[in-house]
Amino acid sequence: MSFLIGVDVGGTKVLAGEVTPDGRVVRTVTHRTPGRRVSVTALEDALTAAVLEVADGRTPLGIGLAAAGFVDAAGERVMFAPHLPWAGEDVRHRLAERWGAPVTLDNDANCAAYAESRLGAARGVSSALMVTMGTGIGGALVLDGRVLRGANGMAGEFGHMQVVPDGRACECGRHGCWEQYSSGNALVRLARARVVAEPTVLTDLCQGQPDQLTGPMVTAAAEDGDLVARQAFSSVGDWLGVGLAGLVAAFDPAVVVVGGGVSAAGDRLLDPARAALGRSLVGAEHRSVPEVRAALLGPEAGLVGAALLAAEPPSRG
C-alpha cells in the first residue's frame, strides 16, 4: 500500500509517522532529539533511526520533514534553528540521498498550519493564524488554504518577537523573546522555580529532582489540582494571549489555532490566553475577536502536514 512518512523534529524530540495519502496517521515513533550542542551528524542519525523504524524495510512515496527552524524559500536549507545545530545546512538534498526517497522540507509550524487547514481546526476557514507551542513558539499564517512563507521563506517566526525589552536571554541570541514567557520551556522553568521553594505534587513526580521535571509532568499535576502547576499554566497562557493580541491586530485572522505539545493542556492553557487576548487586543470592543481553537490534530499536526506536502510539494515563489 502506498504511504508517506512525516517527520517533525523539535528541540527535545523527533516524532515520525506513517501517513496515508489522505492524511490518516497509521502509527508513530518517538526518538529523543540530541540537542543544539551536538553535531549535525548526530541529529541526522536520530532522524534516520526514526525514519527507518517507520519504514520497516519499505520505500515510501515521499518523506516530509517539519523542522523547528528557519527554512529558506527554496525549501532546501535550514538556515538557522534556535534549538537545533543546523545552520545553513543543505538538509533536503543530503537526507534525500541518505534515505533513498524524495524529501520535502518546510518549517514545522508551516506544516502544522497546512495540516490544520486541510483536515483540522482551520478547515473551511478563509484565514487562520497558527501558533505552535513546544520547546519554543512557532507560527504560520494561512490564507485561502495557502501558507504564506515570505520573501525569504521565513515568515511566521513569531516566537522571537520581543515582548519584554532587555528581558530573559533567548537561545536565538536576543533578549525578551515571546517564547521565553510562553512555551514549554517557560512552563517548566516556572514550575521548577516553585518546586525548589515549596513541596508540591510536582516534587513527587520528579522524585525531588527539579531538573528532571518535564512539561507532561506539569500538565498531569495541573489536572490533579496542583496549585503550582496551575499557576504556571496561568502565566504561560496569559503571555500567550498578550502575544496573540499583537498578531491579531496585524493580520486580523478569522480564527487562531494553537497547537504543539503544550496545547495538550487544552483549556488549562487556552482560557487564560482567550482572556488576555480580549483585554489586550486594540479595539476589541469594536471588532469580532477571533475564536482561539485547539489544534484538532494535536501533536501530530506537524508530521501530517509534512507528509501531505511531500505528496503535493508546494509552489515556492
Residue-wise DSSP of 130-154: EEEESSSEEEEEEETTEE---TTS-
Q: Could you say which DSSP state residue 257 is in?
A: E
The dihedral formed by the CA atoms of 85, 89, 95 and 101, expressed in degrees to the nearest 10: 140
| pLDDT score, position 206 | 87
Specify whether domain 4-113+300-311 bears CATH 3.30.420.40: yes
Distance between CA atoms of residues 154 and 140, nearest Å: 10
- The packing angle between helices 227-251 and 215-223, to 10°, is 110
Where does the chain hold its CATH 3.30.420.40 domain(s)? 4-113+300-311, 124-295
Percent of the chain, pLDDT > 70?
A: 97
Check: CB of residue 127 under 8 Å from CB of residue 142. Answer: yes
Cell numbers found for residue 285:
470592543
Residues 258-289: tens digit of each pLDDT? 998 888 889 999 999 999 999 999 999 999 99
Residue 66 has pLDDT above 60, yes or no: yes
Residue 36 has pLDDT above 80, yes or no: no
> Hey, is 107 helix, strand or coil?
strand
Going by pLDDT thresholds of 50, 70 and 90, the confidence category of residue 135 is confident
Distance between CA atoms of residues 282 and 284, nearest Å: 5
- The packing angle between helices 184-197 and 227-251, to 10°, is 150
Nearest to 221 by CA among 258, 196, 187: 187
CATH class of the domain at 124-295? alpha beta
Residue 8: half-sphere exposure toward Cβ, Cα within 13 Å: 31
Q: Could you say which DSSP state residue 192 is in?
A: H
Q: Could you tell me where the beta strands, DSSP code E, fall in 33-154?
A: 63-67, 70-71, 78-80, 103-107, 127-133, 137-143, 146-147
Going by pLDDT thresholds of 50, 70 and 90, the confidence category of residue 35 is low
Check: CB of residue 28 under 8 Å from CB of residue 17. Answer: yes
* Residue type for position 20: T
Q: Which range is least confidently modeled, 46-55, 57-66, 167-176, 308-317?
A: 308-317
> Strand 4-9 relative to strand 13-19: parallel, antiparallel, unpaired?
antiparallel
| pLDDT score, position 61 | 94
Work out whether the CA dihedral 180, 181, 182, 186 comes out positive or negative: positive
Work out whether the CA dihedral 70, 82, 128, 303 comes out positive or negative: positive
> Hey, is 178 helix, strand or coil?
helix
Phi, psi of 118, deg, nearest 5: -85, -40
The larger pLDDT score, comparing residue 299 to residue 309, is at 309
| pLDDT score, position 188 | 95
Global confidence as pTM? 0.86
Residue 285 parent element (H or E): none
Nearest to 271 by CA among 237, 226, 244, 223: 237
| pLDDT score, position 317 | 42
Strand-pairing partners, residue 8, are 15, 66
